Structure 1
Amino acid sequence: MQSKARTVEQYFEELPEERKAPMLKLRQTILTNMDQNFEECMNYGMVGYVVPHDKYPAGYHCNTELPLPFVNIASQKNFVALYHMGIYANPELMEWFVGEYPKFVKTKLDMGKSCIRFKRMDQIPFELIGELMQKMTAEEWIACYEVNLKQK
């Protein structure tokens, strides 16, 4: 589900009450732990954390008018989603996350290529997500992105 919200604040105002607290905590976890060269914005109808054009002028190869996406969070119909492009692009980071996840959550990891789905709001591993956000700087993400882009 993509929101039509124009600002991050509007996005959070429109959330159902039962999703506001966990989504706000997820947002705060990301903001507290991410490299400060990432920027928060609305991106693809979700809250996004991107490398802005002033740090990476080339932008996103699919649409160079957009900044380079890194992480998005969204309240979907049946779950809260964390989309982390670094996990998708970096096998070592994926391996680390998959290995650490059971130390924080007793249920099975529900994950696609870059999408981590949390169906139970009381089982979002905020501490693990904080660690994940510290694992890659904007500069490292740009380098990883460019290597993967050249391989395609």
Structure 2
Amino acid sequence: MNNTHFTIALHILVRIALVAEKNKVITSKEIATSVNTNPVFIRRILSSLEKSNLVVVQYGTGSGWKLAQTPDNITLSDVYQAIKQKPIFDLHHSIPNQNCPIGKGIQPVLKYYYSDVEKALHSKLAKTTVADLLGETLSSQELHS
């Protein structure tokens, strides 16, 4: 996963949540304008979010994207899982020297710690929803206006 994909996915969902309050849908072009990027890139992320049942596309007149669930039911952990392609930390690309005491033992130890980091991340992300982000984002704007 590119380190910005998670951030962009959250931006997308919060933007969709904003129009969802008015029972509206939003196009990938409108989302791309908010993110300030290419609609093709936005559609790739939307595709991952759709596969995880976080968004749906509405076809026909007034077509666009909407949330598949209410914003207070979508956690940041759900979003992370939807777009995650690699673990946070990865092990060596080639197997370390198994004749070396460090080379032989380092990967199992690192797997243990890396697993703990992933669990802690998911635990933290599970405590915040898209609705929380929307509220905080709008409040933040009011403070900086």
TM-score (norm 1): 0.29
In terms of fraction of residues, the more helix-rich structure is 2
TM-score (norm 2): 0.30
Whichever structure has more strand as a proportion of its residues is: 1
Identify the structure with bigger relative contact order (alpha carbons < 8 Å, sequence gap 6+). 2
Question: Based on CA coordinates, which of the two structures has the bigger radius of gyration?
Answer: 2
